[in-house]
A and B are shown apart, each in its own frame.
Chain A
Amino acid sequence: MAHFDTEYQRLEASYSDSPPGEENLLMHVPEGAKCMCDTHHKPILNLSDTQIHTFLFSIGNDKNGFTCMLLGEIFELVQLLFVVGFTVFLANCVDYDILFANKFVNHTDSSKVTLPDAFLPVDVCSARIRDNAFVIFVLIISGVFWLHRLVKFIYNVCCYWEIRSFYINALKMTMSELPYATWQEVQARIVEIQKEHQICIHKKELTELDIYHRILRFKNYMVAMVNKSLLPVRFRPPVLGECVFFTRGLKYNFELIFFWGPGSLFENEWSLKPEYKRGGNRLELADRLASRILWIGIANLLLCPVILVWQILYAFFSYTEVIKREPGSLGARCWSLYGRCYLRHFNELDHELMSRLSKGYKAASKYMNCFLSPLLTVVAKNVAFFAGSLLAVLIALTIYDEDVLAVEHVLSSITLLGVCITVCRSFIPDKNMVFCPEQLLRVILAHIHYMPDHWQGNAHRYETRDQFSQLFQYKAVFILEELISPVVTPIILIFSLRRKSLEIIDFFRNFTVEVVGVGDTCSFAQMDIRQHGHPAWMSEGKTEASIYQQAEDGKTELSLMHFAITNPQWQPPQETTHFISQLKERVHREATGAPSDTNPLSLSESEPRSLIANILGPSTLTSVHFGRDSSLTNHAAAGINDGASALRSLSPVSSSLHLRGSLSAAHRAAGHTSAMSKGMAGSGTDARTVSSGSSAWEGQLTSLVLSEYASTEMSIHALYMHESRGELSRHTWHRQDSDESSDSVPDEVRSEPNPHSRHFPRSHTFPTTVASPSAIPTSASACATGSTTLGQEGASSQSSTQRRFSGSAVRSARVPMGGWAEDGQAAPRHHDPLPEESSEDEMPPHIHKVNAVRCVVGMAKLLCARGPRFSDV
């Protein structure tokens, strides 16, 4: 009698003909089988990675649970009914003559008009509705729309329910902790249960990249197509000049054509049809695609009126209330749909993109506000003046005798004048505002990570502004575009997209790779430097890509860095690892300003310190430089020390970040905080800082700081890459017509494969050699004074999540040594230096602030909230 209590194994034994006493062979159901029954491999990998993600984040970001979400959707449905019903009622069932008192009601008892008097009787009302074809049409459309929403709601409930049970049973997360879970945690658990249950049956282990590929398969294709300018979204209509037209309707049509519509290129959610993978009959396939696009375009054209009415209703329902509540929201800006595609990294989830863009929002809108037309300003000022005087008189009269209000149209003219003044005021720039777009653009770049090369140094030009406004458009324009989209979409499909069918076929054939367990994905999303790197973006010598294969704007490189930084446990292939570590090291070197040429090994091998700690390290040494300034700078020095210590206390975390993998293990571990504080206490004097802020810190430290830290690091890398790229192009141009380049430059250009990296503003020249006497103190003091303003306003301009970290002053002051301040160098480098750059000393505080913001870009986010103490001085 054998008795196994092992894990299940193949039952080879039972196949043998007649094992003696087989009746008593006892097997045990392995642990975990029970939970497996609820958690088939289906929910996650077959159906709905996307839904897992949306579900988590729709819950997580609104901090409400399953029930709240359901309630919200139910109310939305009710609201829709109400809006339609009420609109129809207002249009057809109200006797406005009675309301406006043009007609008198013959009441016997009193002269008062009541609301019910104004309502028409039911039969009259329904007759009016029945007679009005347009109302019927609108009602039918809204009815269909509502039914669509209802079905979608039911469908969503089923999906949510399934995913909810997946979360609870398989991922072992309770609903109460779900809202507070981060995506990283969920992802880690998915990787975890793959090891246990093999939810994806093709491979033993699931990497982060696999999960991202699953979720973002089609989005990656879209990003790549926008990146390679394959989609027709840029147009040159005769009057408007170049403009970008990319709306939700258009995007929906693109997706319909490429990914899932009838006869699309994909045969199912995960694989391209085999005939599209072969090059043989590409012309025939292109023809077929072209005719499909034509048909879909025609269908769009036929459905145009319906969609148009739908759009108008939709816009009306969704925006009227908002506009009524805050009319300014139309003048506000938002990231356009095209911008979102253009700025999105490969393998970047929605919430990551949104948080990145939201962080850049403030700077971006400030940048756009720099460009107020002087003409408009003059007009607006005068209109405001006249409107204001009228308003003042009316108000004065009203105050004198309120019967003025009873005069017809007085109240309405007061309201109108008020609105008029508000509108005019938005065109009048703030008196204290200073035009300094270059720095603002740099701050924006730190968050959005992508911009065309020619923007650098041209930030003050209108062309740049116009191009930026394609990414960052007025909300009103956005709504308008959505409204005209039903008309324009078929035209674009039929006339522009159809011509590109061959390119599209080629694109899908050339840039699709099959990944085991994932299916067909866009090869750009593999982020392989060798295949898709662009030599100008640090991957020179490593890339073997032809021009056709290169991703534009350094997309591959930046995406790779972004992915590696946000997913520290991800283990990229050998070469990629090499690229990442090389780049990181280079950034460290430049950032610390350590004379690393002498001992590059010591930095990379001795201890993998964090970037920020590196930046801070030298700053303590060089804070002496401030000593000769005012008392202010003494404080600054103190602040530096504080900042340095605080940041260095972070370095245990970040070093483990570098040690890949240990990070999130540590971060999940129960003993994490104790390890952290041990690390903090380890650095002697730091203890003070730690104790002062630790209560606020420790709870949040784990995920919040880490994600913040990751985004900061990414900002630095993005800036660095753009910088060195810019240096490359500018440098060649620079040498031709001015000769103030240092003597060694030409040699370096020839000898080094990456000359631009050498010309990255090296900050170690700042503290040690007094290179250009005027530059250093000004930039330093600019940052120092800037930080005082930072204390007051800068804090608000930064990510609000950071505000809870209370603390001491002026991290920004040490940044000039950190390496990002090349203000001193910036002036000579530009040929047409902006006026304010040459006269930094006399500048109003605003520019200092921006300077400081620019200096501390990224890092200061962690710290600027500590400003207040300093600003008290």
Chain B
Amino acid sequence: MNCRSEVLEVTVEARQVEEAMLALLHTILLHRSTGKFHYKKEGTYSIGTVGTLDIDCDFIDFTFVRVSSEELDRVIRKAVSEFKDALSNSGSDGMGQISLEFYQKKKSRWPFSDECIPWEVWSIKVNVVNLANEQERQICREKVGEKLGEKVINVVEVINRHEYLPKMPTQSEVDNVFDTSLKDVQPYLYKITFQITDSLGTSVSTTMRRLIKDTLAL
């Protein structure tokens, strides 16, 4: 519970899903990435640059800015295409949600795995519509473009608020806050998950965990 959660909602046509998702995820990640840290000595570091790239969408009248990092792009694209496939497999009126979660890692001792503590979750709810004719598609193309523009401004507004961000780590702990696996950019640790259809509710596993935990705490 101790994390911010933002919800964005978009209604798109099936072929627009991928680009819309990419646009939003990349926009968020653009603002949640820094250049690579180069530690000089303990507690002092310099930050590398981050290049940006304009991307034009094919199916939407929209252009967005992303970090010019092919690796990052590849990772995101992979996640989004999985989401798209799952969505198209699910049936006609696809509803889905993709969430981008920023977290911090907490190292634990041996028998336990590292803990991930989220501090910000962006959930993008997608509503897929089917359109009958070309004219409607044309209208939709423009409308989705406008909507996405609004969302981007929305994202920037949220990010501009002075709210909690993990503190800058020392060299030894940089892995707990930032994803350092990429060569040219260093986003905060993130995780992309998706969910098809609105099956929100307590899953069996969480209930069981809770049951056990509470029995123990009795």
Contacts and interface: CB of A to CB of B under 8 A. Distances in A.
Contact of B216 (A22, A28, A151, A263): A151
Contacts of B48: 14, 22-23
A30 B4 contact: no
A36 to B, nearest CB: 5
A33 B167 contact: yes
Interface string A165-207: 0000000000000000000000000000000011111100000
A411 B218 CA distance: 45
Among A23, A33, A50, A519, which residue has the most Cβ atoms of chain B within 10 A?
A: A33
A32 interface: yes
B117 A267 contact: no
A161 to B, nearest CB: 9
A497 B164 CA distance: 44
Contacts, number: 123
B164 A201 contact: yes
A148 B176 CA distance: 35
B136 interface: no
Interface stretch (A41-49, A755-763, A835-843): A41-49
Which bracket fits the contact residues of A?
A: 35 or more
A89 interface: no
A668 B44 CA distance: 35
B153 interface: no
By Cβ-Cβ distance, the 10 closest A-B pairs, closest first, are: A201-B164, A270-B1, A33-B167, A29-B43, A155-B216, A262-B207, A45-B2, A152-B216, A42-B117, A8-B168
Interface in A432-470: none
Contacts of A33: 167-170
A354 interface: no
Contact of B104 (A22, A40, A148, A260): A40
A14 B50 contact: yes
Interface in A244-264: 252, 260-263
Interface of B: 1-4, 34-35, 38, 40, 43-52, 104, 106, 115, 117, 119, 163-165, 167-170, 173, 176, 201-202, 206-207, 210-211, 213-218
Among A8, A26, A50, A200, which residue has the most Cβ atoms of chain B within 10 A?
A: A26
A263 B202 contact: yes
A32 B167 CA distance: 9
Given A15-B52, A201-B3, A262-B202, A28 B167 contact: no
B49 A201 contact: no
Contacts of A27: 44-47, 168
Contact of B119 (A11, A24, A201): A201
A41 B167 CA distance: 11
Contacts of A269: 1
25 contacts: A15-B50, A22-B47, A24-B46, A26-B40, A26-B45, A27-B44, A27-B46, A27-B168, A28-B44, A33-B168, A36-B167, A41-B119, A42-B106, A42-B117, A45-B1, A46-B1, A46-B2, A51-B217, A197-B167, A252-B218, A261-B207, A262-B207, A269-B1, A271-B1, A519-B1
Contacts of A241: none
A744 to B, nearest CB: 57
B216 A198 contact: no
A56 to B, nearest CB: 16
A585 B46 CA distance: 60
B117 A46 contact: yes
Nearest to A520: B1
Contacts of B106: 40, 42
A537 B91 CA distance: 60
B206 A29 contact: no
Contacts of B201: 267, 273
B162 to A, nearest CB: 9
Contacts of A152: 215-218
Given A27-B47, A28-B43, A14 B35 contact: yes
Contacts of A34: 170
Given A17-B49, A33-B170, A41-B119, 6 more contacts: A11-B35, A14-B48, A22-B46, A29-B169, A152-B215, A201-B163
A37 B170 contact: yes
A148 B167 CA distance: 40
A198 B163 CA distance: 9
B49 A22 contact: yes
B148 to A, nearest CB: 21
A464 to B, nearest CB: 35
A198 B51 contact: no
A29 B1 contact: no
B5 to A, nearest CB: 10
Nearest to A24: B46
A630 interface: no
A268 interface: yes
A271 to B, nearest CB: 7
A45 B170 CA distance: 24
Nearest to B48: A22
Among B1, B46, B202, B218, which residue has the most Cβ atoms of chain A within 10 A?
A: B1
A768 interface: no
B49 A14 contact: yes
B164 A29 contact: no
A519 B2 CA distance: 9
A198 B3 CA distance: 11
A260 B210 contact: yes
B206 A268 contact: yes
Nearest to A252: B218
A30 B2 contact: no
Interface string A685-714: 000000000000000000000000000000
A30 B170 CA distance: 9
B211 A261 contact: yes
A50 B213 CA distance: 13
Contacts of A671: none
A408 B217 CA distance: 52
Interface string A191-227: 0000001111110000000000000000000000000
A18 interface: yes
A25 interface: yes
A735 B50 CA distance: 85
Nearest to A271: B1
A29 B176 contact: no
B209 to A, nearest CB: 11
Contacts of A148: 215
B46 A23 contact: yes
Contacts of A42: 2, 106, 115, 117
A19 interface: yes
Nearest to A517: B2
A269 B169 CA distance: 30
A202 B51 contact: no
A268 B200 CA distance: 12
Contacts of B218: 152, 252
A40 B114 CA distance: 13
Interface in A751-775: none
Contacts of B2: 41-42, 45-46, 199-202
Interface string A110-154: 000000000000000000000000000000000000001001100
B42 to A, nearest CB: 8
Contacts of B168: 8, 27, 29-30, 33
Given A14-B35, A151-B216, A268 B1 contact: yes
Interface in A462-516: none
A25 B40 CA distance: 11
Contacts of B1: 45-46, 268-271, 519
B4 A202 contact: yes
A556 to B, nearest CB: 26
B164 A198 contact: yes
Nearest to A154: B216
Nearest to A274: B200
A79 to B, nearest CB: 19
Contacts of B215: 148, 152
Nearest to B174: A29
B211 A260 contact: yes
B174 to A, nearest CB: 10
Contacts of B202: 262-263, 267-268
